[in-house]
Amino acid sequence: MAKNFWKLSGFSLFSIDYAYIDHKSYLAETLFVQRQIRVKLNCRMARQDSPYHVVFCSVYRGDRIKFEEAMERLKDSMLLCGHTDYGEICEFFTELIEHDGEESAVSSAP
């Protein structure tokens, strides 16, 4: 399965900025609470016709490893909850990011 989170550039002594893909049922946030990961949600973006959101957040530096492990667990949680197209959405965003937003990638949004 494709990557479901990306480390963003930025400088802070206390946190690391990330973007990740979550479902409208907030499955990632459930994992953060269960694993006691300190996350500040900065922005959530979604299309009207999609159940998936791109979430921008800041993670306390000490929780970086737990956050990245939770992102791996999120893939399994999505499948267990019946969101079988999560992998396709992650692949789409990975391709979009790798191609720096070329128009060909954008026009084929799932």
How confident is the model over 69-98, as pLDDT tens digits? 999 999 999 999 999 999 999 999 999 887
Give residue 70's pLDDT. Answer: 97
pTM for the model stands at 0.85
Summarised one tens digit per residue, pLDDT across range 29-72 is 999 999 999 999 999 999 999 999 999 999 999 999 999 999 99
DSSP string, 38-104: -EEEEEEEE-TT-SEEEEEEEEEGGGHHHHHHHHHHHHHHHHHTT-TTHHHHHHHHHHHHHTTT-HH
Query: Residue 51, exposed/middle/buried by CB under 10 A (0-12, 13-18, 19+)?
Result: middle
pLDDT at position 2: 82
